[in-house]
Amino acid sequence: MAPSVQQLPEEIPVVSSEKIVPIVEKPAEEKPAEETPKVKRQIDLEGGKTDAKYPQYLPTWNHGQKYPPLEKFDYIEHGKDADPTFKDLLPEGSKIQKLTPSIGSEVTGVQLSKLSAAGRDQLALLVAQRKVVAFRDQDFADIPTKEQLDFGSYFGRHHIHPTSGSPEGYPELHIVHRYGPTGSEIDSFFANRTSAVSWHSDVSYEAQPPGVTFLTLFDSPEVGGDTLFASQVEAYNRLSEPLKERLHGLKAVHSGFEQAQFSRDRGGVVRREPVKNEHPIVRTHPATGEKALYVNPGFTRSIVGLKKEESEALLAFLFNHIGRGVDYQARVRWAPKTVVVWDNRVTVHSATTDWRTGERRHLARITPQADVPTETPYVKVEEPVKA
Ligand SMILES: [Fe+2]
C-alpha cells in the first residue's frame, strides 16, 4: 500500500456521531436551521457531570467556529542567543537527567510558569538540544488559562488547530482526550489494525509549523498512554553521506486535507479549510544549526519532482527508518503535574493507545508556530581517521 497515504489521524479522534447540542441564541423560527451553530460538549456526553480532575479543560466542538487562512508572521527564535549555561532555567537545586543519549531529558526543581525572559530563551535552547524535556511538578494546570497562553505566546503565534476540540473561550488550546469504560472507539480501531502507533510532527502541513510545544497533563491512566518521541536529527545523522547529499534540495508535500476529511466524515469540526505546503526534506534548526529529517507518515504525502513509485519508495524507506529507530527514540511516562515540552521541528511523536481500562487520558497542548522550514547546504561529515 502506498506509504504516502495517511493511515491514521494525528490522534485517534474523539469526534463521534453522538448527540450534538445546539446553541440556542434565538428561537429557531427566527434563524434558518442551516445557520445555527452546533456545539458538542464532552461534559454533556458524560451526562452533565464528570469525574475529570479539570472539567474546565474538557473539549467542546463548536461547528460555528470558522477561522480564515493563516497568514505569515514574523517569528523570533529565542533559542538562538540564549545562554548555553542555562543558569536562569536550571538554577541551583534543580535537577536534569537524560532519558537517552540523543533525545529526552527530565527536569525537577523548576517552575516553568515563573521563568524570566532569559529562562524562557534558555528553555527554547534546551528543548532544541534535547528534543523533548519532561518537567515534573508544574503548576500549569492550576494557574489561569490566560497565564498559560501568555507564557506560550512568548515562543510564537498560537496555532488554532483546524479539527480539534477546545475548552470554551480558548480555541488555541488543543485538547487531547480519551475516556470511556466501553472503549468502543479503541475496540473498533483495533478490530482492523495491529497498532495505533502513528508517528507525526504536529500540523507539519502549515507554512510555519510549530516549534517549542507544550503538553500539560490533567488526567492519565495509572499505567499506559506514554508518548513516544524520535529525534529527526539523529535519524538524519544515521544516514549514509550519499543519501544525505541526495535528500538535500528535495522538498516534500505535507497535507492537512485528509485530516479535515477524516473529521468531516465523522461529523467533526473543520474550523479552518485545509492546506498543503512544500517543505525541505532536510531542515536546519535556527538555534542549533542541526540538520533534521522533516518528513512524517502523518502528513507527508509525496516528494516534489519524483515519479509516484520513486516518491513512495523513498518515503517508505524514510518512514520505516524513523519508526524503527528505537535507538534514537525516547518514551515519556506521564505523571500528575507533568508538562512535556518538545521541539516539533526536530522530532516526531506518537501516542500509545495501550490501556483498555477506560481510564481518562486528558491533556492540553499549547502550540506556538515557528519559522518557515529552511535548509542549509549539504556538508559532508568526514569519517574519523582510524589510528
Ligand atoms: Fe501530536
Centre of ligand 1 to C-alpha 315, Å, is 20
What dotted CATH number matches 38-66+80-366?
3.60.130.10
Residue 301 is a catalytic residue: no
Helix, strand, or coil (residue 173): coil
pLDDT at residue 36, rounded to an integer: 63
Centre of ligand 1 to C-alpha 378, Å, is 29
Centre of ligand 1 to C-alpha 285, Å, is 20
Helix, strand, or coil (residue 96): strand
The amino acid at 96: I
- Rounded Cα distance between 186 and 183, Å, is 5
Give the rounded distance of the alpha carbon of 230 from its chain centre: 12
Q: Domain spans of the chain?
A: 38-66+80-366
Centre of ligand 1 to C-alpha 53, Å, is 22
pLDDT at residue 181, rounded to an integer: 65
Phi, then psi, of 263 in degrees rounded to 5: -70, -45
Centre of ligand 1 to C-alpha 304, Å, is 25
- Rounded Cα distance between 229 and 231, Å, is 7
Using alpha carbons only, give the angle 20, 163, 57 rounded to the nearest 5 degrees. Answer: 70
Centre of ligand 1 to C-alpha 90, Å, is 27
Q: Point out the catalytic residue in the list 202, 219, 343, 371.
A: 202
pLDDT at residue 183, rounded to an integer: 56
* Stretch among 33-37, 106-110, 154-158, 277-281 having the lowest mean pLDDT: 33-37
Q: Point out the catalytic residue in the list 200, 271, 272, 345.
A: 200
The amino acid at 88: D
Q: Are 229 and 342 in contact (CB under 8 A)?
A: yes
Q: What is the dihedral of CA 343, 313, 328, 360, to 10 degrees?
A: 60
Identify the band that residue 22 occupies on the pLDDT scale cut at 50, 70 and 90: very low
pLDDT at residue 7, rounded to an integer: 35
CA–CA distance from 341 to each of 192, 268, 281 (Å)? 33, 28, 23
Residue 44 is a catalytic residue: no
pLDDT at residue 6, rounded to an integer: 32
Instruction: Write the pLDDT tens digit of every residue in 108-129.
Output: 999 999 999 999 999 999 999 9
Centre of ligand 1 to C-alpha 108, Å, is 24
Q: Are 172 and 159 in contact (CB under 8 A)?
A: yes
Q: Point out the catalytic residue in the list 272, 343, 365, 371.
A: 365
More confident residue, 13 or 109: 109
Of the chain, the percentage scoring pLDDT greater than 90 comes to 84
Q: Point out the catalytic residue in the list 157, 285, 345, 349.
A: 349
Relative to beta strand 132-135, strand 105-108 is parallel
Residue 174 is a catalytic residue: no
Residue 202 is a catalytic residue: yes
Identify the band that residue 100 occupies on the pLDDT scale cut at 50, 70 and 90: very high
Give the rounded distance of the alpha carbon of 268 from its chain centre: 19
**Whether the predicted pLDDT of 243 surpasses 70:** yes
**Whether the predicted pLDDT of 161 surpasses 80:** yes
Radius of gyration of the chain (CA): 21
Centre of ligand 1 to C-alpha 199, Å, is 8
Phi, then psi, of 166 in degrees rounded to 5: -150, 160
Q: Are 339 and 311 in contact (CB under 8 A)?
A: no
Identify the band that residue 187 occupies on the pLDDT scale cut at 50, 70 and 90: confident
How much is the pTM? Answer: 0.91
pLDDT at residue 381, rounded to an integer: 86
- Rounded Cα distance between 325 and 34, Å, is 49
Query: Terminus-to-terminus CA distance in the chain, angstroms?
Result: 47
Calculate mean pLDDT across residues 20-32: 39
Instruction: Write the pLDDT tens digit of every residue in 50-79.
Output: 999 999 999 999 999 999 999 999 999 999
Centre of ligand 1 to C-alpha 200, Å, is 6
Calculate mean pLDDT across residues 280-299: 98
Centre of ligand 1 to C-alpha 299, Å, is 11
Q: Are 67 and 40 in contact (CB under 8 A)?
A: no
Identify the band that residue 31 occupies on the pLDDT scale cut at 50, 70 and 90: very low
